[in-house]
Amino acid sequence: MTAAIRFENVSKQYRLGEVGTGTLSHDLHRAWAKLRGKPDPFALVGSVNDRAQKGGEYVWALKDISFDVKQGEILGVIGRNGAGKSTLLKLLSRVTAPTAGRIRARGRIASLLEVGTGFHPELTGRENIYLNGAILGMQRPEIARQLDAIIDFSGCAKYIDTPVKRYSSGMMVRLGFAVAAHLECEILVVDEVLAVGDAEFQKRCIAKMQSVSSGAGKTVLFVSHNMGAMANLCTRAVVLDQGALAIVESPQNAIRFYHDSSPLYQSPKDLIALQLDSELKFRSVSLDSSDGSVDKIGFRSKVNLKFEYFLEVEIVGLELAVAIYGVNGNRVFTSERSMCFDHPVSVGLSEATVSIPAETLVPGHYTVELAASVPNSRIVQILKEVFRFEIVDDGYHFSRYKDVDVGCVYVRCDWHEQAGQVS
């Protein structure tokens, strides 16, 4: 099958710090070296984009990226924050140019990279459809033919003649995606902006991307932290790590690789830094099992999650909860403190242990979320993906179903049958 997009040793370097005359001087030196066929005079050999490391004047947002995207394929892009996902899409959309390498694309590209891109706040939704469509390369007659379909898909018909400065971010995304999806293009590029929309609109967007890929033969590049959407929508996925290409695999294998390479848990220092300034803070979190494991736990072993928290003042109706999520980002179950205790949460430092019974979670990858809230009132503190662990098959019958979805929770059901003929 013909390659619709080809990345050939693509690299992108940014200079850190303030932009000034030094930056202009460096850019001129770079341009002169490139014109003479010389290497970049400011490139650092072997350097990588390590967000945690201080110092250095330059950073490689992307380094030597090479892969092909087939025509009609939906390719997912996975990676942690700062891995280079958005930079990759901006290079493809020609928002910026690569420092080195080359990108080949066959056909017109429609991009949805940021909320409100291509919109003027003083213009109405209808006027912005024409403006945004023109920016994406649509002719006025082409926009007019698609206008009713764009308005209907966006769900903003009631407010289509209202200035978009009065739109919510969700409405802006609806309108922007509707324009991009109905453009007669060959390549559609969608960044994380769909996360701003509600669940119903996200389903419609995913269905639309599937239809334009299979029906119209469009090529789609999709960036998201929603692993469920990534697994259900994409045909392949790439994983970026600190600006470098880690793997190009099936969505299931790419998601598994991404989780395996993610930190097992947050250190106490990082844990505190991640939290909002509120009356309750989680101090530490750890996990073990009845077989002594801390990350790969046997199916027949109990899972013990321990965490410390500090409550500054008494909060009436405060609830603590632990949620377990599957590899696709779906919540498996939630356990609340009030299920076991009648007395309120104590002020000061406390430790809690939540035990998940053995033979509950089937083999697979899981993440832990900690939350403190006043139900139906406010969220006091919430920490997502604070811990990651894997349930492994320790001799049970799940080994018979390699790479087959058997769900997330094992339920011991009662089976009754009667042999012979039943009248």
Q: Where in the chain is the domain with CATH 2.70.50.60?
A: 268-396
What torsion do the CA atoms of 110, 111, 112, 114 make, to the nearest 10 degrees?
-150
pLDDT of 355 reads 93
pLDDT tier for residue 7 given thresholds of 50, 70 and 90: very high
Dist CA 141 CA 161 (whole Å): 20
Q: In what order do the strands lie in the sheet with 319-326?
A: 296-298, 378-392, 364-374, 319-326, 331-336
Residue of 383, 261, 381 lying closest to 323 (CA atoms): 383
pLDDT of 329-346, one tens digit each? 788 999 999 999 989 999
Lowest mean pLDDT among 266-275, 308-317, 319-328: 266-275
63-72 CB burial, b ≥16 within 10 A, e <16:
bebebbbebb
**Amino acid sitting at position 296:** K
Residue of 327, 285, 335, 278 lying closest to 306 (CA atoms): 285
Q: Calculate the alpha carbon distances from 23 to 19, 87, 88, 98 in Å.
A: 6, 19, 22, 16
- Of the chain, the end-to-end C-alpha distance in Å amounts to 57
How much is the pTM? Answer: 0.68
Q: Which two tokens stand for residue 15?
A: 């200079």
Q: Between residues 142 and 21, which one has the greater pLDDT?
A: 142
Dist CA 19 CA 238 (whole Å): 32
| Three-class SS state of 202 | helix
Q: Can you name the CATH fold of 3-261?
A: Rossmann fold (3.40.50)
User: What residues contact 11, with CB distance under 8 A and at least 6 apart?
Assistant: 60, 62, 63, 64, 65, 98, 99, 100, 101
Mode of pairing for the β-strands spanning 100-105 and 3-15: antiparallel
CA 151 remoteness from chain centre: 27
Q: Calculate the alpha carbon distances from 89 to 76, 242, 302, 395 in Å.
A: 11, 16, 43, 44
pLDDT of 399-423, one tens digit each? 666 666 777 888 888 888 887 765 5
pLDDT of 161 reads 92
* Superfamily (CATH) of domain 268-396: abc- transporter (atp binding component) like domain (2.70.50.60)
pLDDT of 365 reads 84
Q: Using alpha carbons only, how large is the chain's radius of gyration in Å?
A: 25
pLDDT tier for residue 230 given thresholds of 50, 70 and 90: confident
How many Cα atoms are found within 13 Å in the side-chain-facing hemisphere of 383? 28
Determine the number of helices (DSSP H) and then strands (DSSP E) in the chain.
Answer: 9, 17
Dist CA 173 CA 193 (whole Å): 7
* DSSP assigned state of 195: G
pLDDT tier for residue 294 given thresholds of 50, 70 and 90: confident
pLDDT tier for residue 206 given thresholds of 50, 70 and 90: confident
pLDDT tier for residue 18 given thresholds of 50, 70 and 90: very low
Phi, psi of 282 (to 5 degrees): -80, 130
Residue 260 has pLDDT above 70, yes or no: yes
- The arithmetic mean of pLDDT across residues 146-157, rounded, is 88
Residue 279 has pLDDT above 80, yes or no: yes
